[in-house]
């Protein structure tokens, strides 16, 4: 198979490139790519981003959040992880078979000495532990099949990024993930580094180096960057496309207890209610409209509170602490 080189480690660009190639490359034969993202959470097309990520941790550690166009669940990427994508001409979506399109990577892993197995519908495992997850999207006669290969990914960062906000559960969650997920490095032949592993996969998938690079034109590369900037790096795509959900959070402060209830649609607050025993001298409903149609984002809420609230509505509760309540886990409508 010919291969395409992605541009670097920026997740916004790489997920945009996946999508642009699916709709625009139109190869006569299968094409593949191996690539990496720096720390990022990639959420599925139909997921509620707010419910999938620990936003406090994401913000503190400069982790990118990007929505892909394929389905499935949220996954964590870092430089201990190799991503792969196949673009394959397929006459009909009825011909799409996960097992068939997982097999090239299964064969590649076994060729380089990794005793991989295909389990379930779309997972690759080693010694019973998942080392790869896969997803697909079909469009216009072409299938994009992409996935991850966990070489030496940071499990604790993975757990903390994917909405485990309570410190009490971090260790337990990490232990649980380690029991189900494996790093390929732990099962690799002696002396096989990530770089050598990458080279071996590239060599095998390109028919032992016989198939050459598919080189994109300058105009094609610019189209990918434009798509990155317009869609995949935008808040509207990554958060605003989340399905409608109800948000509820309770917190007790020295200055009183407060409950926040909000309805969020397309990432925007459509209704909001504050209840509790906080000692506001004025009714918070006087400023309710200032929250409506604003992005569901703790920093946005903080800016509203700083500009419009001087302690009269929520008593001595600190604006930052109140705003941070909007980083907690959401409850999606069914």
Among 306, 267, 274, smallest CA distance to 288 is for: 274
Name the DSSP letter for residue 229: I
Retrieve residue 244's tokens.
Answer: 């409608």
Residue-wise pLDDT for 26-43, tens only, equals 999 999 999 999 999 999
pTM of the complete model? 0.80
**Which pLDDT does position 32 carry in this prediction?**
94
Residue-wise pLDDT for 99-145, tens only, equals 777 888 888 888 888 998 988 767 889 998 889 888 888 888 999 99
CA distance 327 to 334: 21
**Which pLDDT does position 293 carry in this prediction?**
95
CA distance 169 to 188: 31
**Which pLDDT does position 153 carry in this prediction?**
92
**Which pLDDT does position 313 carry in this prediction?**
81
Residues with Cβ < 8 Å from 63, sequence gap 6 or more? 39, 40, 41, 57, 157, 161
Instruction: State which residues of the chain have pLDDT below 50.
Output: 168-169, 330-334
**Which pLDDT does position 155 carry in this prediction?**
87
Pairing of strands 40-43, 75-77: antiparallel
Q: How many CB atoms lie within 10 A of CB 210?
A: 8
């Amino acid at each position: 198979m010919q291969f395409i080189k992605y541009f670097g480690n920026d997740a916004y660009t790489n997920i945009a490139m996946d999508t642009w190639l699916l709709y625009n490359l139109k190869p006569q034969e299968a094409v593949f790519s191996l690539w990496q993202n720096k720390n990022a959470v990639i959420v599925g097309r139909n997921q509620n981003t707010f419910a999938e990520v620990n936003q406090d941790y994401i913000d503190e550690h400069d982790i990118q959040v990007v929505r892909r166009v394929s389905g499935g669940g949220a996954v964590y990427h870092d430089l201990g992880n190799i991503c792969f994508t196949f673009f394959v001409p397929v006459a009909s979506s009825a011909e799409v078979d996960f097992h068939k399109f997982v097999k090239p990577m299964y064969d590649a892993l076994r060729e380089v000495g990794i005793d991989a197995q295909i389990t379930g519908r779309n997972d690759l495992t080693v010694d019973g532990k998942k080392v790869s997850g896969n997803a697909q999207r079909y469009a216009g006669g072409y299938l994009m099949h992409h996935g991850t290969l966990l070489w030496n990914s940071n499990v604790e960062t993975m757990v903390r990024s994917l909405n485990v906000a309570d410190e009490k559960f971090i260790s337990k969650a990490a232990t649980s993930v380690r029991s189900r997920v494996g790093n390929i490095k732990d099962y690799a032949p002696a002396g096989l580094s990530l770089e050598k592993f990458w080279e071996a996969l590239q060599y095998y998938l390109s028919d032992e180096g016989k198939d050459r690079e598919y080189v994109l034109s300058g105009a094609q590369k610019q189209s990918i960057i434009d798509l990155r900037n317009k869609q995949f790096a935008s808040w509207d795509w990554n958060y605003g496309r989340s399905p409608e959900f109800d948000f509820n959070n309770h917190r007790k402060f020295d200055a009183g207890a407060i409950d926040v209830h909000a309805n969020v649609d397309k990432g925007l607050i459509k209704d909001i209610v504050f209840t509790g025993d906080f000692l506001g001298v004025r009714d918070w409903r006087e400023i309710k409209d200032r929250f409506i149609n604003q992005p569901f984002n703790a920093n946005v809420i903080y800016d509203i509170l700083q500009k419009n609230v001087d302690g009269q509505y929520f008593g001595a509760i600190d604006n930052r602490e109140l705003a941070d309540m909007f980083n907690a886990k959401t409850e999606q409508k069914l």
